[in-house]
Structure 1
Amino acid sequence: MTPKNLVEMLYQTTQRFPEKRAIMWKEKGKYQSCTYRELWNTVLCFAEGLRQMGIGRGSKVAVFSENGPRWLISDFAILSLGAVTVPIYPTLAANQVSFILENADVELAIVQTPQMVKRLKGWPKQVRHIILLENKPVKHPIVVPFEQVVQDTVPNRKPAEWETLDPGDLATIVHTSGTTGNPKGVMLSHGNILSNIIGSLYYLPVTHHDLSLSFLPVSHIFERTCGHFTPMYAGGTIAYAENLTTVPQNILEVKPTLITSVPRLYEKIYGQIMQQIKSGSLLKLRMFNWALQAAKNRKAYTDKGYGTRVPFWTEIRYLIAQHLVFSKIISKLGGQLRLMVSGGAALDPKVSHFFSTIGLPILEGYGMTECSPVISTNPVTRYKPGTVGLPLPGTKVQLAEDGELMVKSLSVMMGYYKQPEETEKTLENGWLRTGDIADMDEDGFIRIIDRKKNILVLSTGKNVAPQPVENMLCSSPYISRAVLIGHRRKYVSALIVPDYDAILQTAHQRGWKAGDKDSLARAIETRQLIQEEIERLLVDFSPFEKPKKFAVLQDEFSIEKGELTPTLKVRLKEVEKNYASVIAELYEETAEEEVAAAATVPVKYHSSQMSAEIQNSLPSTSIDSSRKTKKKPPLWLNPQLWLGIILGILTGLFVRYFIF
């Protein structure tokens, strides 16, 4: 029977799998767990404590915490009373936290640490109580420890509050990230979220056998719907990562079958794999290329649809490739992973193609908070890299005249809390205006081009969608973040945050004189490497879309400086403000450029006319004077040549007699 609210959903799962492991968390160096029965009982005991503190139907309760079992317990306890959960990102600054508390009329706040309590010098007056999740002392007049709130017994009330909740009842107020201005409180009902879970499961099957690792902020509706509510609906197990830095270690510890993440994690994994292959031996490189080709050959058949026959030797070669090569990659991801889900931003199609080829598909989806959040996703049995998939069942989409994607679904929000004017702007005759420019192919798969507000209109009249360019640049192993600049300017420029770990490794391999991030940021070799990547990756883009100039930034963009939202989206206005002087330099014409622009014939320089400064700035790849005088030994005496020949013969024999 389909549940009519989120708490009934958990109750039904508890009835089906009472002794099954529901959640796991790290404590004292080891992963602990509790069953669905234990989880349900704890939820009821905590809800009883909240009731005694005056929380009831319609009350607004904030959860200001990092991911963990008590976040989930708090959420279901609040909902079970008919109250409304107001999630707050743990990284938000004090003024942003205060705004959400006041905007959502929060009566009680559940806070993780004493430091978070102290972050606000003055809590809003309507917040009557603060429940502290960590068992640490803090001096504050309205703070109560979590253990003190949880009751030992729960009165048997018939019917319980959660049994009277309908799909249309308000469940949560989730504040949007707010790339411009203050965030808006999105009101989502129990029915909104439930319909989104059921629709998502149609394309992305999650079962009670699955174990997922939770590390994206559950304060965001993407992780909350897909990483929390969906496993609870299916009877799966949620394991919590300790923090973002321990995700690789935690993956090996819990061995998840499912991972939900933003594209950057998959892009970094892909970059590390490619880096290891390139830096490995010639034999490893050849084996990898052979295995990849074997997988591509098989995929050419499997892409034709379910039931397509794969030739015997094609399947045998693929199985050998899996055993010798791909199993090593999958083992570094726990060894049990069967499915990866990507959302929150565009995923590089090259990364998606690679993982699907080796048998580990990344299913890219698309959504927004106002739609609970999933709008479309690639089905597990039919996916197209480079698209965000098909609309969920029951979700209608259409394109406005200007290409904006419009959505109508049971998942669409009730509206913005206390902002009817903003609601009217976003909801038009039942259709949600997404603010994203999109197109659809002949099969109905959606491709997001960019945010409508993000389109750069150059002074030349050309329009540039920055997201495809930025995503392509970020596919480089040497580029961590790229932001395009150029609105109302005559050409496009880029702010580049390098991946200094990857560049440092390359620097050591090539013998550059660079010892730390500071010196790398200033090194001419770094600029040359980034320039080569820009030229390589953007070869298929129009000239006006390519950055004419770029600046290498020393520091990553941060939430603390207001440059990123809690979901790690770039706040362009803040970036432009913080790097105003750097951007100004990108649009200052040098004397040479002014002369070249004024001349009828391109300016040419003879090498003898170059200044000493320009000569010294050339890449330090030339041979020094001491090496110039050395006479190279004959080629046939080079031991590396003979080693390469021997390895080539052995590899050929192996492939000839054991594979083919």
Structure 2
Amino acid sequence: MNSQYQSTLTAIAQFAAESPNKIALQGRATETLTYADLAVSIELTRYRLNRANANVLGIAMDNSPAWAIVDLAAMQLNLPVVPLPYFFSAEQTAHAIDDAGINVVLSDQPILFKQMLDLYGKKILQEKQYLIGDKVLTELILDSEKVSELPAGTAKITYTSGTTGKPKGVCLDAAALNRVSHSLLEVTKARPTDRHLSILPLSTLLENIAGLYVPLLAGATAVLMPSSQVGLTGATGLNVATMMEALNASKATTTVLTPELLAALVTAIESGYSKPPYLRFVAVGGASVSPQLLNRAAALGLPVYEGYGLSECASVVALNPPYSNKIGSVGKTLPHVAIKFSGDGEILVKGASLLGYTGDTNNEQCAEYFPTGDIGHFDDDGYLYITARKKNQFITSFGRNVAPEWVERELTMSPFIAQAAVFGEARPWNVAIIVPAKNAIPAEVDMSIAEINQSLPDYARVSQWILAEAPFSPQNNQLTSNGRIRRINILQQYQQKIDEKYKEQSYAVL
């Protein structure tokens, strides 16, 4: 680990000595751990994990101080950790266990987890329970058939958001995680008085870093409550009233939201909920954020800052700073990051790249500059803009390249359009699948598209649109858990209707 960065564990030990009674972690109701308590809990859990002879540890738990203690104890042991999100399907979880070579799992839902293991024929050699924090955890030692050869120094294996049945495992070392943590500490101006409320699961890399490591480096308090107590149910269910109550009751000063959660927060306040009074920094990312939504948030006085990152670069790459926010951009690169662009505009990132992927012995993508697959550019002030996913660009039958994200972003800036997916590969003009905003009528959608088309070049315009049968969501497999459109799935559902549009002769070719 680079000596210029103090590790999270060193910071905990320092605060335990200097401010032993300061609250480090807060969970359900009155559950709190001081920095002194946390240091002791990490040491005790380290001892237990060492006795389990874990090669790779899986954490299958809801947000809680116990999750943090286990993660930090494994960090002290140099034991690779694989967070196993509950929004993963049983197939994806079983794949991660095999793919990463997990031989020990700690779970707070052992019955559910054992049913899944049994379904996929995985044998449990030993089972024991013990208390960590105020939570009883079950340790399952598995009969692991595979011992994965992970890249040397692997500290965390984070799996992609599950766009396929077999997501890829990204192997990261402690140095990369620490570099990102320290950059966020600096840019967000994290301070000991902060109270960070984790709404997203700690099993997501962004929340693991921003919601746990950064507050602990700052000597602040991480509020880690079960998902149900912050309003989340399953992968996508949201009780807005519960989320608003959690933000207020926790006196949260910072939090991280996806665009969907931000939209819920903004709409709730516009509808009469009180603005959470203590918030000073709300990071939003995971998918493209509509400038209209960010402007609505700004009008309410919400301190919302868009960022950009990816798992292969240990999460955050760029973030709008609180002292100079530029809506429409994803901010400035973090202090540890260097960026350059390929000939076709692809963003190449240096600074905290992955060690490799699980199961990939070549690891050819682990070059000095990681190819993100995103197309973008800097403005004159050094702010980064993302214009498209390289793989999503399509070419019309007239040979024009179209970035659908660009057109979709323009469409969803309309108050009458909630979601949009644009298609036009090898076609003379483009079609959009549209989810209208609540109470919007077709005539208002028509009007919006006509206005937006005036600002677009002819090859990017939407000539026809199709009313979506339902909003894009993770439940219907048309949206990832962090808000990205699953284009292939949407195209498959609406392929027949799209083809019918192109068969109609009454619409001119642009």
The 1:556/1:353 distance shift into structure 2, 3 A limit, reads closer
CA distance in 1, matches of 2:126, 2:426: 50
TM-score, normalization by structure 2: 0.85
After TM superposition, give the deviation of residue 475 of structure 1 in Å: 3.7
Provide the secondary structure at the position in 1 that maps to 2:282: strand
Q: Deviations over 1:438-465 (max 9, x none)?
A: 1111222111111110112112222211
Q: Conserved in 2, the CA contact under 8 Å of 1:397 and 1:408?
A: yes
Partner of 2:341: 399
1:348 is the counterpart of 2:347: no
| In the alignment, structure 1 residue 427 sits paired with structure 2 residue 366 | yes
Distance 1:227 1:53, change over 3 A: same
- Could you tell me which of 110, 114, 120 is aligned with 1:117? 114
- Structure number with the higher helix fraction is 1
Q: 1:470 aligns with which of 398, 408, 418?
A: 408
> Letter of the aligned partner of 2:20 in structure 1?
P
Listed one character per residue, the Cα deviations across residues 463-506 of structure 1 (whole Å, up to 9, x for unaligned) are: 2111122233334455443222222222222222345xx32xxx
Q: Distance in 2 between matches of 1:412 and 1:458?
A: 35
Report the equivalent of 2:206: 222
1:207 aligns with 2:191: yes
SS in 2 for 1:249: helix
Letter in 2 for 1:371: C
Report if aligned partners of 1:456, 1:486 keep a CA contact under 8 Å in 2: yes
From 61, 70, 73, the equivalent of 2:69 is: 73
Aligned letter for 1:41? V
**SS of aligned partner of 1:265:** helix
Q: Which of residues 415, 418, 429 in structure 1 aligns to 2:356?
A: 415
1:545 matches 2:481: no
Q: Is residue 478–residue 498 contact of structure 1 (8 Å, CA) maintained in 2? A: yes
> Cα–Cα, structure 1 residues 554 and 336, in superposed 2: closer, same or farther, change >3 Å?
same
The residue type paired with residue 95 of structure 1 is E
Cα distance change on mapping 1:111 and 1:563 into 2, 3 Å: farther
- Tell me, what secondary structure is at the counterpart of 2:441? helix
Does residue 17 of structure 2 align to residue 33 of structure 1? no
Answer yes or no: is the 8 Å Cα contact 1:253–1:334 preserved in 2: no
Indicate the SS of the match to 1:420.
coil
Query: 2-side partners of 1:98 and 1:358: how far apart?
Result: 44
Matched, 1:7 2:9: yes
1:51-103 Cα distance to aligned partner (Å, 9 max, x none) = 22222xxx211112332322212211222222111012211111111111100
Deviation at 1:586, TM superposition (A): 3.7
2:391 alignment partner AA: K
Match of 1:170 in 2: 154
1:262 corresponds to: 258
Aligned mate of 2:430, from 476, 492, 507: 492
- Which residue of structure 2 lines up, in the alignment, with residue 371 of structure 1? 313
Q: Tell me the equivalent position of 2:469.
A: 554
Distance 1:129 1:222, change over 3 A: farther
Q: Structure 1's 492 and 225: CA in aligned 2 closer, same or farther, altered over 3 A?
A: same
CA contact (8 A) 1:366 1:388 kept: yes
CA contact (8 A) 2:162 2:480 kept: yes
Q: How many residues align?
A: 481
Structure 2 CA distance for aligned equivalents of residues 108 and 12 of structure 1 = 30
Q: Which of 1 and 2 has greater Rg?
A: 1
How big is each residue's C-alpha offset from its partner over 1:108-155, in whole Å with a ceiling of 9 and x where there is no partner?
1223322343234435648645677999xxxxxxxxx945769xxxxx
Change (3 A) 1:177 1:256: same
| Shift, 1:370, TM fit | 0.9
Match for residue 281 of structure 2 among 325, 335, 339: 339
2-side partners of 1:68 and 1:536: how far apart? 48
Per the alignment, in what secondary structure is the counterpart of residue 91 of structure 2?
Answer: helix
Aligned in 2, Cα 1:333/1:122: closer, same or farther, shift over 3 Å? Answer: same
Q: Which residue of 2 aligns with 1:566?
A: 481
Deviations 1:197-223 (A, max 9, x none): 112222211111011111112222111
The amino acid across from 1:33 in the alignment is: T
The structure carrying a bigger strand percent of its residues is 2
- What SS does the corresponding residue of 1:217 show, helix, strand or coil? coil
Residue 381 (structure 1) aligns with? 323
Calculate percent identity across the aligned residue pairs. Answer: 27
Partner residue, 1:290: none
Shift of 1:545: 2.0
Structure 2 SS opposite 1:427: coil
| Equivalent residues of 2:108, 2:138 under 8 A apart | no
1:231 lines up with 2:215 in the alignment: yes
For the 8 Å contact 1:110–1:132, the answer to whether it is kept is: no
**2:174 matches 1:184:** no
Change (3 A) 1:94 1:460: same
- Which residue number in structure 2 is paired with residue 625 of structure 1? none
Which residue matches 2:143? none
Partners of 1:130 and 1:555 in 2: CA distance: 44
Distance 2:125 2:460 in 1: 54
Distance in 1 of aligned mates of 2:48 and 2:490:
45
Cα distance change on mapping 1:123 and 1:4 into 2, 3 Å: farther
In 1, Cα distance between the equivalents of 2:125 and 2:454? 59
1:371 Cα deviation (Å)? 1.0
Instruction: Give the TM-score taking structure 1 as reference length.
Output: 0.67
Partner SS for 1:587:
helix
Q: What amino acid sits opposite 1:257 in the alignment?
A: T
Q: Distance in 2 between matches of 1:538 and 1:217?
A: 39
Cα distance 1:545–1:269, how it changes in 2: closer, same or farther (>3 A)? farther
> Post-superposition shift, 1:404?
0.6
Question: Aligned-pair distance for 1:25?
Answer: 2.6
Change (3 A) 1:4 1:339: closer
SS in structure 1 opposite 2:215? Answer: helix
In the alignment, the residues of structure 2 paired with residue 564 and residue 84 of structure 1 have an alpha-carbon distance, to the nearest angstrom, of: 30
Shift of 1:387: 1.1
Q: CA deviation at 1:6?
A: 4.1
Tell me how far 1:273 sits from its aligned partner. 5.5
Determine if contact 1:231/1:238 at 8 Å carries over to the other structure: yes
**Which whole-Å CA distance do the structure 1 matches of 2:116 and 2:411 have between them?**
37
- Rounded Cα–Cα distance in structure 2 between residues aligned with 1:543 and 1:132: 64
CA distance in 2, matches of 1:220, 1:566: 10
Contact 2:107–2:138 under 8 Å retained in 1: no
